[in-house]
Structure 1
Amino acid sequence: MSLAQNGVPPLPVSVDDVRAAQAQLEGQVLRTPTLPAPKLSALTGAEVWVKYENMQVTNSFKDRGAFVRMSRLDEAQRRAGVITMSAGNHAQAVAYHAQRLGIPATIVMPEQTPQVKVRSTEAFGARVVLDGETLAESQIRALRIAEEEGLSLIHPYDDVDVIAGQGTVALEMLEDAPDLDILVVPIGGGGLISGIAIAAKALKPGIEIVGVESALYPSMINAMQGQPKPNGGPTLAEGIAVKNVGGLTLPVVQALVSEILLVSEPDLERAVNAFAANQKTMAEGAGAAGLAAMLAHPDRFRGRKVGIVLCGGNIDARILASIMVRELEREQRIASFRLTINDQPGVLGRIATRLGEMGANILEVEHRRLFLNVPAKGATLDITVETRDGRHAQQVYEALCRFEGIPCRRIDAGGSPLQSQ
């Protein structure tokens, strides 16, 4: 979606506010590196630079805005405590810095928040309340508790101090890589992209800011179009699964962001895997959204010098393992075959020997005799193997098809026949 930029209205935060936040953050959060990523450049056709915000203590850029906001509370507000609603990263940041500053913290999280984020938040001493299916529902509960208990709300994105804190990401990126042409930034409620856009445009007016949303949660696009796309559903990018964007952030995005791209769930999975496989670094779904956009829209970025913000690395190990295996299947480096064999001694051994001769590593074998579409003296054999690439997988398949006249077909991971075979 292209956005109009005819004149810039007054913005809620200035670059001087971002610089003040940068001074306040010195020694409080990590100044993360912005580094070239040649392997990602080869993958996308652009010159890619990565801002590693997953290196923060809570593995997310949220440390910045949370600290700036809480450090500016007066003594009475600190004694009373703070509250926020968050799908995870802002929750951990508030909990961590509240603990450091001696401020009691309450965090309201959606009920489906990944357990890795819930446990990490509780580990910083915060009281966690699980309520609501979405962040919007969690916000209702948070506001109620704030009123009942006299707590200060630390909003995840719609707050001038939070926006200024997040904008320090851009100051650091342009210090490390001043020649960047484009910054690609994930969008949830809009706090990160607003702060980055304000700072980057002030330092380098010609730089382009591109936003990225999950295709299941096109909230910022909806706020601008007036004809909403469907919004909701289970997404790998739960960190940007926001239904309501900020009243402060919306006009900033309208004024300074040139385009918002949508990414699908397979795009996000591919990007998470690319960070793990190529950069040897952890990215959650939202953290990988910038790379997902580059993979999904390569023509948009080809030949440009692009900075992407790896804004969070809090991903469940089980989910990451699943994604990496799924990508191996998509790349046909894991392939499955179904053979109908005579149930006789030695057949399985001969098949295993042939696969070994082909250089295919057997990962799993399932032997079934009770299928009714198999002869009484036969059996179905499902074999999953590791191959070098798609060409090798096809060679293995063709070899099995020629092996002793045994019927063979390729199947997907769920056991269904592949249409191409």
Structure 2
Amino acid sequence: MKKEYLTLNDVLEARERINNTCVNTKLIYSSEFSKDCGNEVYIKPENLQVTGSFKLRGALNKISKLSDEQKSKGLIASSAGNHAQGVAYSANKLGIKATIVMPKTTPLIKSQATKSYGADIVLKGQVYDEAYEEAKRLEKENGYTFIHPYNDMDVAAGQGTIALEILDELKDVDAIIVPVGGGGLISGVAVAAKSINPNIKIIGVQAEGANPMKISFDTAKLTYADSVDTIADGAAVKQPGDMTFEVVKKYVDEFVTVSDNELIEAVYVLLEKHKLVAEPTGALSLAALKQLNFKGKKVVSIISGGNIDVVTIASLLKRGLVSRGRIFCFSVKLHDRPGQLLKITKILADEGANIIKFNHDQFKAIDRLKDVVLEATVEANNHEHIEDIIKVLNAEGYNVNRVY
């Protein structure tokens, strides 16, 4: 491989540079995800990293290697949030001025955290690529040193230290599942892992609504997306890196995509079973586990980040409860006479459904002089429990309209 691309030695040197700052995030065995996919699954929790994501590794390695002249010019970066925090934290630690351009859609928790590390924030555009264009303009205008979030081999080398830690703990790992946006993380991980053990399978995961690297990989031609649409904002990249693509072509075994609903369920299960918070991008590798075409292997899923605001996590968890059959909302038409509400309540109680909310609305019925519509939200155990509740209601003469 050409020297401008990545080697194991680059990753080993990166580890020496960042070791004193970055956390060695220890693997966590997951019985829940293991059971779901038929493999022995371990979580690599980079959501517990300093700044809340793996991005600190690459940013710190890159910035540490800059010349004094480059540092004196000040740094600029573009990011949907996690790379921004990595650059801001590293710059602050090394006493360097940093400016970060972020999309206007960046979650507030990420922009506030970046600002708290002392960086100047510029909001521009709706997606990462528009923020990148503004950052490059400011770089040219002010002479800043640009720190690319993924298309830079020093950055990728820093991310590759994750693979070294995985192999230190689990030498016989069979596969590493890696979230992918622009390709920096998977490039570093793939080079390090494959250089140590070529038999390790490297699987990249992208969101269905933002998968240009997968398309590039499948067609062996670097491909850009006209638009991206996914809740995985940290991986919503229209233009994969040309350098990272060259690494991906050589070292990565396959790619899969996952839906936003699968991401929501993965975030939910991770929180419920492991008490770990991941942002949707961070859960890409968990959502992909059910698509693995092998069983009985030792698999590591990298949780790339956990920077998510409370309002968003609340919304995702509600949708996760629905997807797991833990919340069930339905409506039924009742005759408008005493005792009808009590009858429904008794049926739900007998079936072990906990009532969360009732909306008893006479004006929703077509014949509001005779009938009333009851909308109920209840807590259930699972989808089978919901089906049992519906069967009992139907048997009692109620026509159940499922809302969600």
Q: TM-score range by the shorter chain?
A: over 0.9
Aligned partners of 1:103 and 1:230: how far apart in 2? 34
Q: Aligned pair in 2 of structure 1 residues 49, 102: CA closer, same or farther (>3 Å)?
A: same
Match of 2:158 in 1: 165
Match of 1:418 in 2: none
Opposite residue 287 of structure 2, the aligned amino acid is A
Aligned partners of 2:341 and 2:333: how far apart in 1? 11
Shift of residue 200 of structure 1? 0.7
- Percent pairwise identity: 39
Shift of residue 362 of structure 1? 0.5
Match of 1:412 in 2: 403
Aligned partners of 2:332 and 2:395: how far apart in 1? 12
What SS does structure 1 have at the residue aligned with 2:360? strand
Match of 1:361 in 2: 354
- Mapping for residues 3-402 of structure 1, pairs under 5 Å: 12-224=5-217, 225=219, 226=221, 232-295=227-290, 297-298=291-292, 300-371=293-364, 373-402=366-395
Q: Aligned pair in 2 of structure 1 residues 98, 11: CA closer, same or farther (>3 Å)?
A: closer
Q: Aligned pair in 2 of structure 1 residues 229, 363: CA closer, same or farther (>3 Å)?
A: farther
Worse-superposed segment, 131-140 or 389-398: 389-398
Aligned partners of 2:232 and 2:285: how far apart in 1? 11
Aligned partners of 1:9 and 1:77: how far apart in 2? 24
**Residues 190, 202 of structure 2: 8 Å contact kept:** yes
Opposite residue 232 of structure 2, the aligned amino acid is A
Aligned partners of 1:250 and 1:336: how far apart in 2? 46
Shift of residue 378 of structure 1? 2.0
What SS does structure 2 have at the residue aligned with 1:288? helix
Opposite residue 278 of structure 1, the aligned amino acid is K
What SS does structure 1 have at the residue aligned with 2:344? helix
**Residues 294, 301 of structure 1: 8 Å contact kept:** no
Shift of residue 331 of structure 1? 2.8
Aligned partners of 1:248 and 1:154: how far apart in 2? 15
CA-to-aligned-CA distance 1:380-414 (integer Å, 9 cap, x gap): 111111112223222222333344x4x3313123x
Shift of residue 368 of structure 1? 1.2
**Residues 223, 239 of structure 2: 8 Å contact kept:** no
Q: Aligned pair in 2 of structure 1 residues 372, 53: CA closer, same or farther (>3 Å)?
A: closer
Give TM-score, length-normalised by structure 1: 0.91
Aligned partners of 1:371 and 1:313: how far apart in 2? 42
Aligned partners of 1:229 and 1:138: how far apart in 2? 16
CA-to-aligned-CA distance 1:75-110 (integer Å, 9 cap, x gap): 333232100000110001111111111111111111
Shift of residue 147 of structure 1? 1.4
Give TM-score, length-normalised by structure 2: 0.94
Shift of residue 282 of structure 1? 1.0
What are the ranges of 5 or more consecutive residues in structure 2 without an aligned counterpart? none
What are the ranges of 5 or more consecutive residues in structure 1 without an aligned counterpart? 1-7, 414-421
For these two proteins, the number of residue pairs brought into alignment is: 402
Opposite residue 92 of structure 2, the aligned amino acid is Q
Tell me the C-alpha RMSD between the 2 structures: 1.9
Aligned partners of 1:203 and 1:272: how far apart in 2? 31
CA-to-aligned-CA distance 1:187-240 (integer Å, 9 cap, x gap): 111111111111111111211111111111121133342496965343121111
